[in-house]
Amino acid sequence: MGDVIADEVSQLHSRNSSDCRLYSKHVKDNVHGFIPLDPLALKFIDTEQFQRLRDLKQLGVTNLVFPGAVHSRFEHSLGVYHLAGEAVNELKKYQGSELGIENFDVQAVKIAGLLHDFGHGPFSHMFESGFLPAVLGGARWSHEDMSERLVDYVVDEHHIEMDDGMLKKVKEMIVASTEHGSADNVKEKRFLYDIVANGRNGIDVDKFDYIVRDSRACGLGCSFQFERLLQTMRVMDDEICYRAKEYLTVHKLFVTRADLHRTVYTHAKVKAIELMVVDALVKANDHLQIASKIHDPAEFWKLDDTIIKRIETDPHPALNESRDLILRIRKRDLYQFCNEFTVPREELEHFNNVTAKDIICSQVSGGVTLQEDDVVVSNIKIDLTHGKNNPLRRIKFFQDYDSDTNFTIGEQSISQLLPSCSLDRIVRVYAKNPKLVAAVSEAFENFQKQKYGRKTQVHGTPQKKKQRCG
């Protein structure tokens, strides 16, 4: 590996221990320090398919607003591999004989952590939630499914010797939190499936890594300490439980994640750039056949963030519109954020996504007649991983290490400062043409009055912005 320099490589040899690894490589990570890589992990890492993750930014286009956010899925995957090993070894250390945790289980959890994001497309979640719905309609596709398929492809392509049972378990752990990959039917050691991707209560090492890594990369503070949860967790009734005194640490995990969504992942300018990149990819799709590659792992792994540079440098006329959009991003001529409002709590239950058609149909005056293609609406959902419900309701706690029962903590026993509703829905509107900001802003205000009987946005669109763009 290019990262692993000579003084970071150590040879571990013991003539007295038959199960000691002969070779172990270490890579220096800026979050977790030195991460030891075992031989099986290296077989996957040293493939062109895994190295592709270096060319997938963890936060997509966020670095165009937060310049430090250039870290990749490669770094994150190594971090999750490391934390998955820390978590399962912590459980093995204190409950290994009780739970029957074997070296086989430790290895499977670590490899699942390493490969959990194997199937992400260009610009990560934007590809899956923005581009593909625009070109595939209602067809279902997920990066977890592709991760599963890529694991099989790489094992076959590179002749990686791996126990069939372990391969099966790794793939099951990768998709455990997805709708079709629920681990509820697992007969034994169900808790192992909650370490990397936890569909049961949302606490997993994937979040531990990206919350700390993303916060650091974006120059934000992070008071959440995952180490406290790793060191105090315990398995009871085949489920990972946490010491009751750590309930605020658990809550801080979810709050910090929600704060990152609000301040970074859904930042108004980040979303504007994402919307423009999605439009550029959609317009380039017929010529570059991007979407057709999602069904074949042999072709899919060749897709990464460099597709934008290909659009920029390919002179084919079919890419003219896409090139123009990328050039606008380079020149900071972005889709203009007009305004946003938070959906009133009483309307959350029956909320339907707002569309560009809803906005233009609300236009009542002005010298400009808006068209649907003039407006982009971004419907944003931010929660604490369990919709409007408090996620603590799904988490089991124990009182002390000698306790033999677990329990949930009632909200009234935690704090009166915790929110009674843990869900925000934000409707945000953009004008593709800066000259239309005033018209779009007015139509957006009219839409709110028609739907809610009042203007619900907090701020008005600045007059200087309207005048500059008008």
Answer whether 424's CB lies under 8 Å from 383's CB. Answer: yes
Phi first, then psi, for residue 414 (nearest 5°) are -95, -70
> Per DSSP, which regions of 302-396 are E strands?
336-342, 375-383
Q: How many CB atoms lie within 10 A of CB 69?
A: 22
Catalytic residue among 143, 180, 287, 386: 143
Q: How far is the CA of 174 from the CAs of 111, 243, 298, in angstroms? A: 9, 27, 20
Q: Residue 28 is inside which H or E element, if any? A: strand 23-29
Report d(CA 23, CA 334) in Å as an integer: 51
Positive or negative, the CA dihedral 63, 67, 72, 73 is negative
Report d(CA 447, CA 360) in Å as an integer: 9
442 conformational bin, left if phi > 0, alpha if psi -120 to 50, beta if neither: alpha
- C-alpha closest to that of 134 among 11, 244, 278, 240: 278
Report d(CA 43, CA 157) in Å as an integer: 12
143 assigned to active site: yes
And the tokens for 215? 């916060």
User: What is the rounded radius of gyration, in angstroms, for the C-alpha atoms of the chain?
Assistant: 24
> Per DSSP, which regions of 30-83 are E strands?
33-37
Answer whether 293's CB lies under 8 Å from 322's CB. Answer: no
Report d(CA 201, CA 183) in Å as an integer: 13
Report d(CA 256, CA 223) in Å as an integer: 8
Which residues are 431's β-sheet partners?
Answer: 336, 375
Three-state SS for 187?
coil
Residue that is written with structure tokens 């043409």 in the block: 433
Report d(CA 96, CA 227) in Å as an integer: 20
Angle at 329 between CA 327 and CA 330, to 5 degrees: 65
Cβ-based neighbours of 454, under 8 Å, separated by 6 or more: 448
Sheet holding 234-236, edge to edge: 234-236, 239-243, 397-398
Which residues have a catalytic role annotated?
Answer: 143
